[in-house]
Protein backbone atom coordinates (compact mmCIF):
# COMPACT_ATOMS: atom_id res chain seq x y z
CA UNK A 1 0.00 0.00 0.00
CA UNK A 2 2.93 2.36 0.55
CA UNK A 3 3.97 1.52 -3.01
CA UNK A 4 0.46 2.38 -4.17
CA UNK A 5 0.54 5.66 -2.27
CA UNK A 6 3.91 6.50 -3.83
CA UNK A 7 2.57 5.72 -7.30
CA UNK A 8 -0.30 8.14 -6.69
CA UNK A 9 2.28 10.67 -5.53
CA UNK A 10 4.19 10.38 -8.82
CA UNK A 11 1.02 10.70 -10.81
CA UNK A 12 -0.06 13.84 -8.97
CA UNK A 13 3.45 15.19 -9.50
CA UNK A 14 3.44 14.71 -13.28
CA UNK A 15 0.10 16.45 -13.51
CA UNK A 16 1.28 19.42 -11.48
CA UNK A 17 2.43 22.42 -13.51
CA UNK A 18 4.98 23.36 -10.83
CA UNK A 19 6.87 20.16 -11.62
CA UNK A 20 7.36 21.14 -15.23
CA UNK A 21 8.15 24.73 -14.40
CA UNK A 22 10.93 23.82 -11.96
CA UNK A 23 12.32 21.04 -14.14
CA UNK A 24 12.12 23.29 -17.20
CA UNK A 25 13.87 26.18 -15.46
CA UNK A 26 16.66 24.01 -14.16
CA UNK A 27 16.99 22.33 -17.55
CA UNK A 28 17.27 25.73 -19.16
CA UNK A 29 19.86 26.98 -16.67
CA UNK A 30 21.89 23.81 -17.17
CA UNK A 31 21.58 24.05 -20.91
CA UNK A 32 22.68 27.67 -21.04
CA UNK A 33 25.54 27.12 -18.63
CA UNK A 34 26.96 24.01 -20.26
CA UNK A 35 26.27 25.10 -23.80
CA UNK A 36 28.61 28.01 -23.05
CA UNK A 37 31.30 25.59 -21.93
CA UNK A 38 30.73 23.53 -25.03
CA UNK A 39 30.97 26.54 -27.38
CA UNK A 40 34.02 28.00 -25.64
CA UNK A 41 35.75 24.65 -25.99
CA UNK A 42 35.13 24.74 -29.73
CA UNK A 43 36.67 28.22 -30.05
CA UNK A 44 39.55 27.77 -27.65
CA UNK A 45 41.44 24.44 -27.63
CA UNK A 46 43.20 25.58 -24.41
CA UNK A 47 39.84 25.30 -22.57
CA UNK A 48 38.55 21.85 -23.52
CA UNK A 49 35.22 20.31 -22.51
CA UNK A 50 35.26 16.54 -22.77
CA UNK A 51 34.62 13.48 -20.61
CA UNK A 52 35.67 12.52 -18.01
CA UNK A 53 37.32 15.89 -17.14
CA UNK A 54 34.11 17.80 -17.87
CA UNK A 55 32.36 16.14 -14.91
CA UNK A 56 34.05 18.77 -12.75
CA UNK A 57 31.98 21.44 -14.47
CA UNK A 58 28.85 19.35 -14.92
CA UNK A 59 28.80 18.40 -11.24
CA UNK A 60 29.92 21.87 -10.13
CA UNK A 61 28.21 24.38 -7.84
CA UNK A 62 25.29 24.73 -10.29
CA UNK A 63 23.97 21.37 -9.11
CA UNK A 64 22.94 23.19 -5.94
CA UNK A 65 20.46 25.20 -8.00
CA UNK A 66 18.85 21.91 -8.93
CA UNK A 67 18.64 20.95 -5.27
CA UNK A 68 17.03 24.29 -4.47
CA UNK A 69 14.44 23.64 -7.18
CA UNK A 70 13.90 20.11 -5.89
CA UNK A 71 13.36 21.46 -2.36
CA UNK A 72 10.99 24.17 -3.54
CA UNK A 73 9.01 21.63 -5.55
CA UNK A 74 8.87 19.28 -2.59
CA UNK A 75 7.49 22.05 -0.38
CA UNK A 76 4.88 22.88 -3.03
CA UNK A 77 3.86 19.25 -3.36
CA UNK A 78 3.63 18.55 0.35
CA UNK A 79 2.47 21.81 1.93
CA UNK A 80 -0.33 22.40 -0.56
CA UNK A 81 -1.92 19.11 0.51
CA UNK A 82 -2.62 20.84 3.81
CA UNK A 83 -4.02 24.03 2.25
CA UNK A 84 -6.27 22.00 -0.05
CA UNK A 85 -7.13 19.67 2.85
CA UNK A 86 -6.35 16.72 0.64
CA UNK A 87 -4.01 15.57 3.41
CA UNK A 88 -7.22 15.19 5.40
CA UNK A 89 -9.24 13.64 2.63
CA UNK A 90 -6.55 11.07 1.75
CA UNK A 91 -6.76 9.74 5.30
CA UNK A 92 -10.56 9.88 5.27
CA UNK A 93 -10.50 7.87 2.05
CA UNK A 94 -8.58 5.11 3.78
CA UNK A 95 -4.87 5.88 3.61
CA UNK A 96 -3.24 5.55 7.00
CA UNK A 97 -1.18 8.43 8.29
CA UNK A 98 1.88 6.20 8.05
CA UNK A 99 1.22 5.48 4.39
CA UNK A 100 0.62 9.13 3.62
CA UNK A 101 3.83 10.27 5.29
CA UNK A 102 5.90 7.44 3.84
CA UNK A 103 4.85 8.38 0.32
CA UNK A 104 6.07 11.92 0.92
CA UNK A 105 9.35 10.67 2.34
CA UNK A 106 9.88 8.50 -0.73
CA UNK A 107 9.28 11.54 -2.90
CA UNK A 108 12.29 13.19 -1.27
CA UNK A 109 15.14 11.06 -2.76
CA UNK A 110 13.16 10.69 -5.96
CA UNK A 111 13.00 14.43 -6.63
CA UNK A 112 16.66 14.96 -5.77
CA UNK A 113 17.66 12.12 -8.12
CA UNK A 114 15.44 13.57 -10.84
CA UNK A 115 17.10 16.97 -10.79
CA UNK A 116 20.56 15.45 -10.51
CA UNK A 117 19.80 13.17 -13.46
CA UNK A 118 18.63 16.10 -15.55
CA UNK A 119 21.95 17.84 -14.99
CA UNK A 120 23.95 14.71 -15.74
CA UNK A 121 22.05 13.90 -18.92
CA UNK A 122 22.08 17.43 -20.38
CA UNK A 123 25.68 18.13 -19.35
CA UNK A 124 26.90 14.66 -20.22
CA UNK A 125 25.47 14.97 -23.72
CA UNK A 126 27.30 18.21 -24.43
CA UNK A 127 30.57 16.87 -23.07
CA UNK A 128 30.13 13.63 -24.96
CA UNK A 129 29.81 15.60 -28.19
CA UNK A 130 33.24 17.09 -27.52
CA UNK A 131 34.88 13.82 -26.48
CA UNK A 132 37.19 11.83 -28.70
CA UNK A 133 35.67 8.39 -28.16
CA UNK A 134 38.51 6.60 -30.01
CA UNK A 135 40.91 7.51 -27.17
CA UNK A 136 39.25 4.80 -25.09
CA UNK A 137 39.22 6.64 -21.75
CA UNK A 138 36.69 5.77 -19.02
CA UNK A 139 33.86 8.25 -19.49
CA UNK A 140 32.19 7.61 -16.15
CA UNK A 141 34.08 5.86 -13.40
CA UNK A 142 34.17 5.20 -9.67
CA UNK A 143 35.16 8.81 -8.93
CA UNK A 144 32.06 10.15 -10.69
CA UNK A 145 29.82 7.57 -9.08
CA UNK A 146 30.96 8.48 -5.58
CA UNK A 147 30.69 12.18 -6.43
CA UNK A 148 27.11 11.62 -7.52
CA UNK A 149 26.45 9.69 -4.33
CA UNK A 150 27.87 12.44 -2.13
CA UNK A 151 26.02 15.20 -3.95
CA UNK A 152 22.84 13.16 -3.83
CA UNK A 153 23.15 13.07 -0.04
CA UNK A 154 23.67 16.84 0.00
CA UNK A 155 20.49 17.23 -2.05
CA UNK A 156 18.49 14.86 0.13
CA UNK A 157 19.72 16.83 3.13
CA UNK A 158 18.51 20.16 1.71
CA UNK A 159 15.22 18.61 0.64
CA UNK A 160 14.91 16.85 4.01
CA UNK A 161 14.92 20.26 5.66
CA UNK A 162 12.35 21.37 3.08
CA UNK A 163 10.09 18.41 3.85
CA UNK A 164 10.37 19.16 7.54
CA UNK A 165 9.44 22.80 6.93
CA UNK A 166 6.46 21.77 4.79
CA UNK A 167 5.18 19.30 7.39
CA UNK A 168 5.69 21.65 10.32
CA UNK A 169 4.40 24.86 8.70
CA UNK A 170 1.75 23.35 6.38
CA UNK A 171 1.66 26.30 4.02
CA UNK A 172 3.84 26.60 0.91
CA UNK A 173 4.78 30.28 1.02
CA UNK A 174 5.87 30.50 4.65
CA UNK A 175 7.53 27.07 4.50
CA UNK A 176 9.60 28.14 1.49
CA UNK A 177 10.53 31.41 3.16
CA UNK A 178 11.67 29.69 6.35
CA UNK A 179 13.54 26.98 4.49
CA UNK A 180 15.27 29.43 2.19
CA UNK A 181 16.18 31.79 5.02
CA UNK A 182 17.77 28.94 6.96
CA UNK A 183 19.53 27.66 3.86
CA UNK A 184 20.81 30.99 2.57
CA UNK A 185 21.89 32.77 5.76
CA UNK A 186 20.03 31.63 8.87
CA UNK A 187 22.28 28.75 9.75
CA UNK A 188 25.43 30.72 8.97
CA UNK A 189 24.34 33.63 11.16
CA UNK A 190 23.34 31.32 14.00
CA UNK A 191 26.49 29.22 13.81
CA UNK A 192 28.68 32.31 13.46
CA UNK A 193 26.93 34.09 16.32
CA UNK A 194 26.96 31.18 18.73
CA UNK A 195 30.53 30.29 17.73
CA UNK A 196 31.85 33.72 18.59
CA UNK A 197 29.89 33.87 21.86
CA UNK A 198 30.77 30.40 23.07
CA UNK A 199 34.07 29.19 21.71
CA UNK A 200 33.55 25.78 23.28
CA UNK A 201 30.53 25.21 21.06
CA UNK A 202 32.45 25.41 17.82
CA UNK A 203 33.16 21.68 17.40
CA UNK A 204 29.44 21.02 17.81
CA UNK A 205 28.40 23.84 15.50
CA UNK A 206 30.46 22.26 12.76
CA UNK A 207 27.66 19.71 12.63
CA UNK A 208 24.82 22.10 11.92
CA UNK A 209 22.73 20.54 9.13
CA UNK A 210 23.56 22.64 6.04
CA UNK A 211 27.21 22.86 7.10
CA UNK A 212 27.30 19.08 7.35
CA UNK A 213 25.56 18.48 4.02
CA UNK A 214 27.83 20.97 2.27
CA UNK A 215 30.90 18.98 3.22
CA UNK A 216 29.78 16.39 0.68
CA UNK A 217 29.07 18.59 -2.25
CA UNK A 218 32.48 19.42 -3.79
CA UNK A 219 33.30 17.33 -6.82
CA UNK A 220 37.06 17.49 -6.26
CA UNK A 221 36.63 15.56 -3.01
CA UNK A 222 35.89 12.49 -5.07
CA UNK A 223 38.07 12.87 -8.16
CA UNK A 224 41.78 12.76 -7.33
CA UNK A 225 42.75 13.96 -10.81
CA UNK A 226 40.50 16.99 -10.46
CA UNK A 227 41.83 17.57 -6.95
CA UNK A 228 45.39 17.56 -8.26
CA UNK A 229 44.48 20.01 -11.00
CA UNK A 230 42.86 22.33 -8.46
CA UNK A 231 45.88 22.12 -6.15
CA UNK A 232 48.27 22.91 -9.02
CA UNK A 233 46.13 25.83 -10.13
CA UNK A 234 46.07 27.17 -6.57
CA UNK A 235 49.85 26.85 -6.24
CA UNK A 236 50.39 28.64 -9.57
CA UNK A 237 48.17 31.51 -8.51
CA UNK A 238 49.50 31.51 -4.93
CA UNK A 239 46.09 30.84 -3.45
CA UNK A 240 45.24 28.48 -0.56
CA UNK A 241 44.84 25.00 -2.01
CA UNK A 242 41.81 22.72 -1.64
CA UNK A 243 41.48 20.59 1.45
CA UNK A 244 40.19 17.06 1.65
CA UNK A 245 37.23 16.52 3.96
CA UNK A 246 36.90 13.47 6.13
CA UNK A 247 34.08 12.03 4.06
CA UNK A 248 33.12 9.19 6.42
CA UNK A 249 31.98 11.38 9.33
CA UNK A 250 30.33 13.83 6.92
CA UNK A 251 28.30 10.99 5.36
CA UNK A 252 27.35 9.64 8.79
CA UNK A 253 26.42 13.14 10.00
CA UNK A 254 24.28 13.80 6.94
CA UNK A 255 22.48 10.49 7.23
CA UNK A 256 21.79 11.17 10.88
CA UNK A 257 20.39 14.61 10.12
CA UNK A 258 18.16 13.24 7.36
CA UNK A 259 16.91 10.46 9.64
CA UNK A 260 16.31 12.88 12.51
CA UNK A 261 14.42 15.37 10.32
CA UNK A 262 12.14 12.71 8.87
CA UNK A 263 11.52 11.15 12.27
CA UNK A 264 10.72 14.41 14.07
CA UNK A 265 8.57 15.44 11.11
CA UNK A 266 6.68 12.16 11.44
CA UNK A 267 6.08 12.51 15.17
CA UNK A 268 4.91 16.07 14.69
CA UNK A 269 2.63 15.16 11.80
CA UNK A 270 1.11 12.26 13.71
CA UNK A 271 0.48 14.18 16.89
CA UNK A 272 -1.37 17.08 15.28
CA UNK A 273 -4.93 17.04 13.99
CA UNK A 274 -5.23 17.10 10.23
Partner 1 sequence: MKSASDVPIIQTFGLSKRYRQTTAVDEISLRVEPGQVFGFLGPNGAGKTTTIGLLLGIINPSGGRFRLFGGESAAELHAARRRIGATLEYPNFYPYLSGRDNLRIVADVKGLDSKEIDRVLDLVGLGRRAKQKFKAYSLGMKQRLALGATMLGDPELIILDEPANGLDPEGMREIREIIRGLGERGKTIFLSSHLLSEVERTCTHVAIIQHGRIVRQDSVADVTSHGVAGLRSADLAALETAVAEYPAAQWVKRRGDRVVAELDDGDLAALNEWLVGRGIHVSHLVFEARSLEDVFMEATGVADIGEPTDGSSGRDERRMGEVP
Q: How many residues interact with partner 1 (rule CB under 8 A)?
A: 23
SS3 59: coil
Question: Can residue 274 be called a binding residue for partner 1 (CB under 8 A)?
Answer: yes
Question: Can residue 43 be called a binding residue for partner 1 (CB under 8 A)?
Answer: no
CB of 146 to partner 1, least distance (A): 38
CB of 90 to partner 1, least distance (A): 7
- Using the contact rule CB under 8 A, the part of the chain among 1-9, 21-29, 105-113, 211-219 near partner 1 is 1-9
Half-sphere exposure of 242 (CA within 13 A, CB side): 19
Of positions 8, 28, 121, 184, contacts partner 1 by CB under 8 A: 8
Torsion of CA 178, 180, 184, 187, to 10 degrees: 40
∠ CA 220-63-264 to the nearest 5 degrees? 100
CB of 135 to partner 1, least distance (A): 49
Q: Which of 34, 60, 113 is nearest to 222 (CA)?
A: 60
| Alpha carbon distance 206, 135 (integer Å) | 44
Q: Work out whether the CA dihedral 144, 146, 151, 156 comes out positive or negative.
A: positive
Question: Can residue 168 be called a binding residue for partner 1 (CB under 8 A)?
Answer: no
Q: Which of 112, 101, 109 is nearest to 78 (CA)?
A: 101
CB atoms within 10 A of CB 205: 16
Of positions 17, 45, 136, 200, contacts partner 1 by CB under 8 A: 17
| Alpha carbon distance 55, 42 (integer Å) | 17
> Quick one: DSSP state of residue 242?
P
* Cis peptide bond N-terminal to 52, omega within 30: yes
> Quick one: DSSP state of residue 53?
T
Which residue lies nearer to partner 1 by CB, 12 or 206?
A: 12
Binding mask 90-119 for partner 1 (x = CB under 8 A): xxxxxxx-----------------------
Of positions 85, 202, 228, 239, contacts partner 1 by CB under 8 A: 85
Which residue lies nearer to partner 1 by CB, 95 or 105?
A: 95
- Using the contact rule CB under 8 A, the part of the chain among 7-15, 67-75, 225-233, 249-257 near partner 1 is 7-15
CB of 159 to partner 1, least distance (A): 22
Of positions 12, 188, 206, 229, contacts partner 1 by CB under 8 A: 12
- Residue ranges in contact with partner 1 by CB under 8 A: 4-5, 7-8, 12, 15-17, 84-86, 88-96, 271, 273-274
Amino acid sequence: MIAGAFRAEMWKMWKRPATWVTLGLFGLITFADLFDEFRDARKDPEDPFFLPDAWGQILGQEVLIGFIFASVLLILLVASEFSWRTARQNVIDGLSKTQWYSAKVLLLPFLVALFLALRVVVGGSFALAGTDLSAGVTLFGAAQLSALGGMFLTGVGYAGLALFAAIAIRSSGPAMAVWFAWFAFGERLLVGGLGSLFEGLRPVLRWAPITTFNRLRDYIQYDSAAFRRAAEWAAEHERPGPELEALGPAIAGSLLWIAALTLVGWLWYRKRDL
